[in-house]
Amino acid sequence: MRIDRIDIIRINNPFKDPFETSFVRFLVRDALLVKVYSEGAFGYGECKAFHAPLYNAEDNGTCLHLLKNILAPRILGENIDGPEDFLERVAFVRGNRLAIAAIENALWDLRVKATGKSLKTLIGGTRDEVEAGISLGIEPTIDALLKKIEKYQGEGYHRIKIKIKPGKDIHIVREIRKHYPDITLTVDANSAYTLADLDLFKAMDEFNLSYIEQPLGEDDIVDHAVLQKAIRTRICLDESITSFDDARKAIDLGSAQVINIKSSRCGGIHESIRIHDLCMKHDIPVWCGGMTETGIGRVQNISMASLPNFTLANDITPAHRFFVEDITVPMVDVTSRCTLIVPDEKNAIHYVVDEAAIERMMVSREVIRK
């Protein structure tokens, strides 16, 4: 397919309620969308970076640069075969996987349109629906958090994850367990701790967490291996896994027993499938992580999570959980079973990008042609 034009669209979508993590309190989702035009069709991809390099080393500024000056010029005006061909053309780039994933994802969308097949079918997905878990931000009080847990537990979410940070951790878990001794509960530290906190994590073993997500350094797999050997609770890596090789090394070292796959963090769906397959071979269950994305990213996440080894509940939720308005029609929502229907050739779920909503949220648009 010939790549005729690439638009990089920046949108701002305010959160209904602030979402607080160990690294930042989000008020607005500042997001980049990539629209790749080819032979009368277009594909959308979402760049999952944030306004600043808080979660990993990339942010919207660095991604804009990469997309416009490094990545787009490699395919504009060229005849390319699709996502794999694009990845080969940009294989010289070190890191910057969120930026790469944005175009890669758009090329998958173009392939969906060109073939008339669903993303699920193209990647070999096997599930008709995928389970929703929920990621709850840090709250000012334990009572406020307990109220949220009550709400989402009542709605049937398949796993409750809470964000933790030093000073807001074990006593909160203890309190939750008093009220909910049996729910599937996890914590996500977003790299806020070090091995000096080993005793804290040993003490957490008592609370039967399904796993502890990314307790240590965002680029670490060595300290995580030390921690994993010292505790019973499974460690799940998020930030630390950016590629197939990261996953291979983490599995070899014993740094994690669960992996959270985000196609953005790993440079796209192609690499994510490789990680999925590797984990499956090693009996490491995976689940699909979230980045408070727009509907474009959410719908692709649903499709990716239809792969067979996504056996744990995902951070894929209804869009209205974070936002009043989103950019797909319909807005992504859960079923009465708290699952998300995977779009495929058989069912009626079909998402369309709402161009008018994008216009309303738009901060800037760069049109790149050869």
Task: Out of 289, 295, 318, 343, point to the residue binding ligand OSB (CB under 6 A).
Answer: 289
Q: Could you give the CA distance from residue 194 to residue 44 in angstroms, rounded to a whole number?
A: 39
CA distances from 191 to 41, 224, 239 (A): 41, 11, 8
CA distances from 308 to 157, 257, 277, 279, 339 (A): 20, 17, 9, 11, 15
Q: Which residues partner with 211 through β-bridges?
A: 186
Confirm or reject binding of residue 129 to Mg ion (CB under 5 A).
Answer: no
Q: Which of 48, 161, 168, 262 is catalytic?
A: 262
| Residue number with the smallest Cβ distance to ligand OSB | 290
Cis peptide before 215 (omega within 30 of 0): no
Q: What is the DSSP letter of 49?
A: -
With CB under 5 A as the contact rule, which of the stretches 75-83, 170-178, 206-214, 330-338 interacts with Mg ion? Answer: 206-214
83 or 289: whose CB is closer to ligand OSB?
A: 289
CB of 315 to ligand OSB, least distance (A): 4
38 or 306: whose CB is closer to ligand OSB?
A: 306
Q: Which of 120, 161, 163, 168 is catalytic?
A: 163
Of the candidates 68, 26, 19, 20, the residue with the CA atom closest to the CA atom of residue 51: 26
Number of helices followed by number of strands (H, E) in the chain: 12, 15
129 or 315: whose CB is closer to ligand OSB?
A: 315
262 is catalytic: yes
Task: Out of 233, 292, 303, 306, point to the residue binding ligand OSB (CB under 6 A).
Answer: 292
Task: Out of 291, 302, 353, 361, point to the residue binding ligand OSB (CB under 6 A).
Answer: 291
Task: Out of 109, 139, 188, 220, point to the residue binding Mg ion (CB under 5 A).
Answer: 188
Q: Could you give the CA distance from residue 361 to residue 353 in angstroms, rounded to a whole number?
A: 13
Binding mask 234-273 for ligand OSB (x = CB under 6 A): ----x-----------------------------------
Residue 3 burial (10 A CB sphere; 0-12, 13-18, 19+): buried
Q: Could you give the CA distance from residue 113 to residue 115 in angstroms, rounded to a whole number?
A: 6
Confirm or reject binding of residue 37 to ligand OSB (CB under 6 A).
Answer: no
Of the candidates 99, 124, 121, the residue with the CA atom closest to the CA atom of residue 112: 121
Confirm or reject binding of residue 55 to ligand OSB (CB under 6 A).
Answer: yes
Task: Out of 290, 295, 318, 343, point to the residue binding ligand OSB (CB under 6 A).
Answer: 290
Amino acid in the structure at residue 42: F
80 or 236: whose CB is closer to ligand OSB?
A: 236
Q: Could you give the CA distance from residue 266 to residue 275 in angstroms, rounded to a whole number?
A: 9
| Cα-trace Rg, the chain | 20
CB of 13 to ligand OSB, least distance (A): 13
113 is catalytic: no
Residue 8 in tokens: 């990089």
82 or 137: whose CB is closer to Mg ion?
A: 137
Q: Catalytic residues, which ones?
A: 163, 262
> Which residues of the chain form contacts with ligand OSB (CB under 6 A)?
55, 135, 188, 190, 238, 289-292, 315, 317
> Which residues of the chain form contacts with Mg ion (CB under 5 A)?
188, 213, 238
